[in-house]
Amino acid sequence: MKSTHTILLLLLCTVPAIARADTAVPTIDRLGELQSQLAIAKAEAALAKAKLEAGNPLPDNKPGGQLSSDAYPSIKSIVGNAGHLYAKLVFPDGSVKEVQEGTVLGNFTVSRINTSNAVLTGKLGKPVTLVFE
């Protein structure tokens, strides 16, 4: 009878341990899922940031003239009559956009267009003169 009680006691002690082991596996699996979801979310955020930056081809207007001239568009053509000139700009990525005075391009605004150049003014007010390609 003592051996029956011992066996019964061992079974009662083992069952909760087995049950805990079964619940631990889904927890570890869930942690793996969460890590995968986090990695995917980070990758999607990086992609969204890259797309946003690609849609904003002009850099910030930084003080001290630290602007990279190869980041700005060049002028393909300027057309129009005396009071209404339009410039076709070619961006470094090859895209082309027709602009007029007042057009906003990223952090810049087209502040002036004449027959020989176009001027962009950044948020800090520093002008950037664009030239023909």
Q: Please state, in angstroms and rounded to a whole number, the distance separating the CA atoms of residues 1 and 39.
A: 58
Q: Please state, in angstroms and rounded to a whole number, the distance separating the CA atoms of residues 64 and 96.
A: 29
| 50 membership: H or E segment, kind and range | helix 2-54
Q: What is the pLDDT of residue 40?
A: 80
pLDDT at 115 over 80: yes
Q: What is the pLDDT of residue 100?
A: 94
- Per the structure, the complete domain to which residue 112 belongs is given by 63-130
pLDDT tier, 70 (very low <50, low <70, confident <90, very high otherwise): low
| In a shared domain, residues 87 and 69 | yes
| In a shared domain, residues 78 and 33 | no
| In a shared domain, residues 80 and 27 | no
Q: What is the pLDDT of residue 68?
A: 45
| In a shared domain, residues 92 and 114 | yes
| In a shared domain, residues 50 and 67 | no
Phi, psi of 45 (to 5 degrees): -65, -40
| Residue 117 and residue 109 in contact, taking contact as beta carbons nearer than 8 Å | no
| Residue 56 and residue 42 in contact, taking contact as beta carbons nearer than 8 Å | no
| In a shared domain, residues 81 and 118 | yes
* Burial class of residue 108 in the structure, from the number of CB atoms within 10 Å of its CB (0-12 exposed, 13-18 middle, 19+ buried): buried
More confident residue, 84 or 26: 84
What pLDDT digit, counting tens, does each position of 23-65 carry? 556 677 778 787 888 788 777 777 666 665 655 445 544 433 3
| In a shared domain, residues 38 and 68 | no
Q: What is the pLDDT of residue 78?
A: 92
Mean pLDDT of the chain: 74
Going from the C-alpha of 108 to that of each of 23, 85, 125, the distances in angstroms are 58, 18, 9
